[in-house]
Amino acid sequence: MTFSRRSSNRSRPLRSRTLTATFAVLLPAAIAASGMAPATAAPGGLYGSVEGSASKAAATGSGKSVVGSLPNYDPDGFYSSLPLQVKGKPGEIIKTAPSNFALGIPFVDWTNSEAQRVAYVSTNSRGETVPVTGTVLVPRAPYTGGGERPLLVVAPGTQGSGDACAPGKLLPMGLEYEAAPVAAALSRGWAVALTDLNGLGTPAQHTYMNRVDQGNATLDMARAAKNMPRVPKAAPVAVWGYSQGGGSSAAALELAHTYAPEINLKAGYAGGVPADLAMTATAIDNGPLAAALGYTLNGFLVSNPEIRGAVEEKMNDKGKEFVRQTASECVPESLARHAYTDTRTLTKNGESLTELLQQEPFKKLVDAQRIGSRPPQVPVYVGHGTNDDTIPVEQSRRMARQWAEGGTKVNYAEHNIPRTFPLGDHMLPMFSHLLPALDWVDNVIHDRPVQFNKA
């Protein structure tokens, strides 16, 4: 199967119409996330300095957002006061503070759940112990489903790279799209732990699509949740995620038996998984979410600072500005600024960012994020949309086949949703898979019969 890049000559009127459709779906997040307090340039070079774990990369040159402006929600400095590195065991709680889960009405929690913001210890791909934040939610009503109350650990889909886009900041404002699986699990009486992943909300730069960082942060979120008073230590755990979150969930499933064997992991859902970043890069280059290539480069600059010289050498002034801006943007702002960017205009020699990532020293970093060669030891529901225009479906097909060949019990489900609008073909399966996948995970946790379909 081949996937062609969109032409850079697409007409502006068509782009306007398709972006309007995309913004219609992303409007709640756009209102909150697109203009939240852009960061200022960090000292120490073009992209900021790297000390220890990370340093927040430089942000936009103008200091003004493209679409509206709201404050970066950080009650009492909960997020900004965290250091770049911490001491402690993975999953150890650094601090907590009250939060709430707002659905539709900002700061009004009508789900009858108790929510706590939590900062916890995790291990990054450099072997450093770093702070990660998240939100733990527990229904106030007793669990009546049989056995211990289950814990669903949710890894978020792409939010952006800026601190303002952390799910833990958007959730109380009723503007986080991961509210869908959170609400569905809470309605079953489950506890839910929603991780912000590395660097979203904290002083460090978000290490977007870093397989080890995301997998470890997801597993350590489970550990941290079990250190909270109302989450049973023996709770059966399932991990959940779609898109970037699907990659995080899949990575966690692959790493669990060696990194966190004690958490009582029972099952997982991994949807729309970017299992092959090279294939994903080809699909998004010159498309509506071209900014995700900037998120990726910024993450690599933190986890592998040795590539800094290569980035400086390859990018022209426009490309360097692209990297600076995407370091602090949320998705809606990135859509407004960078949709359909011809990335050939960002490099000195006119090659695209996809072509750049296929060369060393970048290629080895892209290859290191590949998912599929480490079969999980628990049953997994893998879901994808046949017409996904952002993360080509062949990635999930191949990953599911590799896992099954390695002994994993895999249920593969592909939803053939008709083509809609840019990004819609990627986003809609997130919701179409929600209830079938949650039912399946519920059945696995409670030892009820389930179906296993091959990819």
User: Between these two residues, 55 and 371, which has the higher pLDDT value?
Assistant: 371
Residue 25 has pLDDT above 80, yes or no: no
DSSP per residue over 263-291, as a string? S-EEEEEEES----HHHHHHHHTTSTTTH
- Give the Cα separation of 79 and 279 in Å (integer): 34
When pLDDT is cut at 50, 70 and 90, the band that residue 37 belongs to is very low
Report the pLDDT value the prediction gives residue 453, as an integer from 0 to 100: 92
- Range of weakest confidence among 9-18, 87-96, 429-438: 9-18
Residue 57 has pLDDT above 90, yes or no: no
- Give the Cα separation of 454 and 382 in Å (integer): 10
DSSP label at residue 78: T
The proportion of the chain whose per-residue pLDDT surpasses 70, expressed as a percent, equals 83
Residue 81, classed as helix, strand or coil, is coil
Pair 28, 170: CB distance under 8 Å: no
- Range of weakest confidence among 117-126, 165-174, 253-262: 165-174
Residue 87 has pLDDT above 80, yes or no: yes
- Range of weakest confidence among 46-60, 79-93, 245-259, 415-429: 46-60
Report the pLDDT value the prediction gives residue 339, as an integer from 0 to 100: 96
Cβ burial 155-184 (10 Å sphere, 16+ → b, else e): bbbbbbbbbbbbbbbbbbbbbbbbbbbbbb
For 277-319, the pLDDT digits (tens) are 999 999 999 999 999 999 999 999 999 999 999 999 999 999 9
Q: Which two tokens stand for residue 29?
A: 């997040």
Report the pLDDT value the prediction gives residue 36, as an integer from 0 to 100: 32
Report the pLDDT value the prediction gives residue 103, as an integer from 0 to 100: 76
Residue 67 has pLDDT above 60, yes or no: no
Pair 145, 188: CB distance under 8 Å: yes
Count CB atoms within 10 A of the CB of residue 360: 9
Cβ burial 54-91 (10 Å sphere, 16+ → b, else e): bbbbbbbeeeebbbeebebbbeeebbeebebbbeeebb
DSSP per residue over 287-339, as a string? STTTHHHHHHHHHHHHH-GGGHHHHHHHB-HHHHHHHHHHTS-BHHHHHHHHT
- Give the Cα separation of 105 and 99 in Å (integer): 14
The answer for residues whose C-beta is within 8 angstroms of residue 22's C-beta and 6 or more apart is 288, 335, 421, 422, 423, 424
Report the pLDDT value the prediction gives residue 73, as an integer from 0 to 100: 84
Pair 236, 147: CB distance under 8 Å: yes
Strands 380-385 and 129-139: unpaired
Report the pLDDT value the prediction gives residue 455, as an integer from 0 to 100: 86
Q: Among residues 118, 187, 401, 153, which one has the least CA distance to residue 266?
A: 153
**Domain chopping of the chain, boundaries:** 14-455
For 159-218, the pLDDT digits (tens) are 999 999 999 999 998 889 899 999 999 999 999 999 999 999 898 999 999 999 999 999
For 223-233, the pLDDT digits (tens) are 999 999 999 99
Task: Report the pLDDT averaged over residues 27-53.
Answer: 35
CATH topology of domain 14-455: Rossmann fold (3.40.50)
Report the pLDDT value the prediction gives residue 8, as an integer from 0 to 100: 35
Residue 255, classed as helix, strand or coil, is helix
